[in-house]
Structure 1
Amino acid sequence: MRILVLGGTGAMGIHVTQLLAEAGHDVIVTSRRVRQSDITGVSYAYGNAKEKSFLDGLLSERWDAIIDFMIWSTSEFRTRVDDFLNASGQYMFTSSYRVYADSPVITEDSPRLLDVIDDSEYLATDEYALAKARCENLLFSNKKKNWTIIRPAVTYDGCGRFQLTVHEADVWLWRALREIPVPVPRVMLTKQATMTWGGDVARMIALLIGNSKAMGETFTVSTAEHIAWQKIADIYRGVIPMLRILDCNIEDFERAHGAIWQIRYDRMYDRIVDNTKILEVTGLKQDCLCTLRDGLTLQLRKYLSRNLDSRPVDFCRQARFDKLVDSTLTFRYAASSGFSNFSKYLIHRFIK
């Protein structure tokens, strides 16, 4: 098949692209920087997939499948959904497990936040989980049914995607490696989390491409294994013994972090997934998926063996976290990173 992958240079996309190429497909991946492929069957289209003329050029061709890893606002997707469906034999839309409301066990039929919550302030936004659900609705209501919706749970990968509750690695791992305490409300650490290795998610996605049972269907692409965030922290600590977590007030944490809706309507829920549907359609087995302990340990060690100083540090956010745990340990790193970063740190740590 001839397959277009939009935004396919992230944790899931890299694995999916390789698997599809290994299966003999011709895969073209969009990228915002010039890349050279070292995989037979994979090539890159240089450009911004949100730029109209670039995307119009791609969609003027016919594709057997389009896999869309882009993050669209509802208004953006509304103008493009027909183009995607018309240009492909199968259009795969990447949604998120975050569309689900609080449920004892998540299945594809579990209620979505958009449909059941009554928080008018939140509903007035087009925040990630709501935007994904609204984009799903545009597919559900379309006359064409050559679409597949996937809803990944939290995904980790050796390229640097490691979450600790709502913290990304550029926050918690950066602090841990410098022996700076990481603020996390204790109540969040008690919540159950489902995390899946990007390679396993990619296998699920690849097996849905060209699969007649996937047309017009929605799948939670995830492992069924779940553990408390505290145990995930313990797994990380097995690789990074200096990781130290300090309790803090949840309201103060929301203000310091900024991702209020993600905290309230995801990380404060127990997230337990029933992945029966995706396993049945792909033929995969749960015991063939990577375990959390083995996967996180292996991928984190893999990441730590690489250069760790390539990603920028948000010293404004780090300063707010220092304030939460009554620390100034980030002070010297901000001071050594230039006047602008140092000034931002001082303002957010001692003034705001």
Structure 2
Amino acid sequence: MKKVLVLGATGAMGRYLIPELVNLDYEVVGVGREETAPWKVNAAYIQSDAFDKNFLNGLLKENFDGIINFMEYGKVDFSEYYQLFLEHTSHYIYLSTCRVYDDKEQPIKETSPRLLDSSEDEVLKASHDYCIYKAQDEDLLVNSSYDNWTVVRPATTFSTMRLQLVTLEFNNSVARALQGKTIVLPIQAKDKPATLSWGGDVAKMIARILFKEEAKREFYNVCSAEHRTWGEIAEYYRDLVGLEAVWVDKEDYLAILSPEGTINVRWQLEYARLFRRITDNSKVLALTGLKQEDMMPMYDGLKLEIGNIPKDYVPEDTKIGLRMDEYIKNHIL
């Protein structure tokens, strides 16, 4: 029985990946910061900080056959970690993102241009934005002498209590709908196609990439090929939770999200959600034997996860939500 370590195991994909790995007869250890594991399968769980090198050094002495890493290295230097992982396993899977891609090629393939390489925005390229540091982390693996790694690039992935709409997360979209409140969205995004994938499907792909020799030193878009415009997705939410949206200019929307004008908030909108995101997943399907028809339809997946909202969940106002209320009061009503 092969032994697999999953770091960041309680997140949107990890919560579904652990049961997939167990079903494939692997011995699984998950590490996360939650007090309890969100799965009910026979897998070990360790509550700890996976950025702690002393903890990692001790843990990796257990000689895991595979390591799947969902950790985000935006605030720490991945160069201080990646060799540690590569030296202690036969197959290391690193979670990157489809946000590394620019908007020059459709559909997006694994060979499509990355913003780090193609963007003319020198400020963005010199930054530590998500789309930049993920690409830089990829390059560390590519330029290493190791051959036992695989990079996976998910598109926007929805899961339990993680339901997105343009750049809004659950607390400022679905939660507001549950309160009967209207949300504000940027009109420039309404007709932009987006790929949203259910976390369970992404988990199936990653679990079936693991330990495949032909997957090493390769990149895979781990996502559905289904795409819908953000306007269509907003209509899905309207049907499922009664979400009402007003579409405004992006500058008004950005001012609501970040009155101080935080540049990363703008970049997430302009270099991700306003890009056309039509994704080619044929490479991962060919590797894993999965088919697009095996993927959860977007509407059905959103319905499933909305059904997973705890019955006793009570939405709370957020700062962004209060600014939405004020904007709607002053500009819409």
Please report the TM-score for the alignment, with normalisation by the length of structure 1.
0.87
Q: Distance in 2 between matches of 1:293 and 1:2?
A: 35
Matched-pair contact (CA < 8 Å) for 2:115–2:125 = no
1:253–1:324 CA contact under 8 A, matched in 2:
no
Q: Write out aligned runs for 1:114-125 (5 A).
A: 114-125=116-127
Residue ranges of structure 1 left out of the alignment (5+ in a row): 329-352
Q: Which residue of 1 aligns with 2:112?
A: 110
1:174 is displaced (CA, Å) by 2.1
Q: Which runs of 4+ in 1 moved over 3 A?
A: 36-41
In the alignment, the residues of structure 2 paired with residue 106 and residue 186 of structure 1 have an alpha-carbon distance, to the nearest angstrom, of 24
Q: CA deviation at 1:105?
A: 1.1
Which of the numbers 260, 264, 282 marks the counterpart of 2:270? 264
Q: How far is 1:195 from its partner?
A: 0.8
Does structure 2 retain, via aligned residues, the 8 Å contact 1:74–1:135?
no
Contact 2:86–2:92, Cα closer than 8 Å, also in 1: yes
Asked if residue 5 in structure 1 is aligned to residue 6 in structure 2, the reply is: yes
Task: Give the Cα separation in 2 of the matches to 1:156 and 1:37.
Answer: 16
- 1:166 maps to a residue whose letter is T
2:261 alignment partner in structure 1 = none
Unaligned runs of 5+ in 2: 259-264
Amino acid across the alignment from 1:146? N
CA–CA distance in 1 between the matches of 2:148 and 2:102? 27
Q: Give deviations 1:103-142, integer Å, cap 9, x for gaps.
A: 3210000000110112122222211111110000000101
What is the 5 A alignment of 1:59-70?
59-70=60-71
CA distance in 2 between counterparts of 1:51 and 1:72 reads 12
In 2, distance between residues paired with 1:292 and 1:271? 15
Q: Which residue identity is paired with 1:224? A: A
Shift of 1:323: 3.2
Which residue in the other structure is 1:318 paired with? 321
The code of the aligned residue for 2:106 comes to P
**Could you say what secondary structure the match of 1:70 adopts?**
coil
Measured in 2, the distance between the counterparts of 1:130 and 1:59 equals 28
1:277-310 Cα shifts (integer Å, max 9, x gaps): 000000001111111122212322332x53322x
TM-score by length of 2: 0.92
For 1:41-70, what per-residue CA distance to the aligned partner results, in whole angstroms no more than 9, with x for missing partners? 400122100122112212233210000000
Shift of 1:36: 6.1
Cα gap change, 1:282 to 1:35, in 2 (>3 Å): same
Number of equivalenced pairs? 323
In structure 1, the partner of 2:201 is 200
TM-superposed CA distance for 1:325, in Å, is: 2.2
Q: Residue type of the partner of 1:317? A: I
Question: CA RMSD for the aligned pairs?
Answer: 1.8
C-alpha deviation, 1:324, in angstroms: 2.9
Aligned to 2:312: 307
Identity %: 35
Aligned equivalent of 1:298, options 298, 304, 309: 304
Structure 1 residue 87 corresponds to structure 2 residue 85: no
Deviation at 1:14, TM superposition (A): 1.1
The equivalent residue for 1:349 is none
What are the residue-to-residue correspondences of 1:71-220 with 2, within 5 Å? 71-73=72-74, 76-102=77-103, 103-157=105-159, 159-220=160-221
Residues 18 and 39, structure 2, Cα contact 8 Å, conserved in 1 = no
Deviation at 1:75, TM superposition (A): 5.3
- Which range moves more in the overlay, 294-303 or 13-22? 294-303
The verdict on how the C-alpha distance between 1:176 and 1:40 changes in structure 2, with shifts beyond 3 A counting, is: closer
> What is the correspondence of 1:28-39 to structure 2 with a 5 Å cutoff?
28-35=29-36, 39=40
CA distance in 2, matches of 1:160, 1:59: 31
**Distance change >3 Å, CA 109–CA 38, structure 1 → 2:** closer
Take 1:68 and 1:83, find their aligned partners in 2: how far apart are those partners? Answer: 12
Residue matched to 1:333:
none
**Map of 1:47 onto structure 2:** 48
What CA distance in whole angstroms lies between the structure 1 residues aligned with 2:47 and 2:321?
34
Task: Tell me whether 164-173 or 25-34 shows the greater mean CA deviation.
Answer: 25-34
1:255 corresponds in structure 2 to: 255
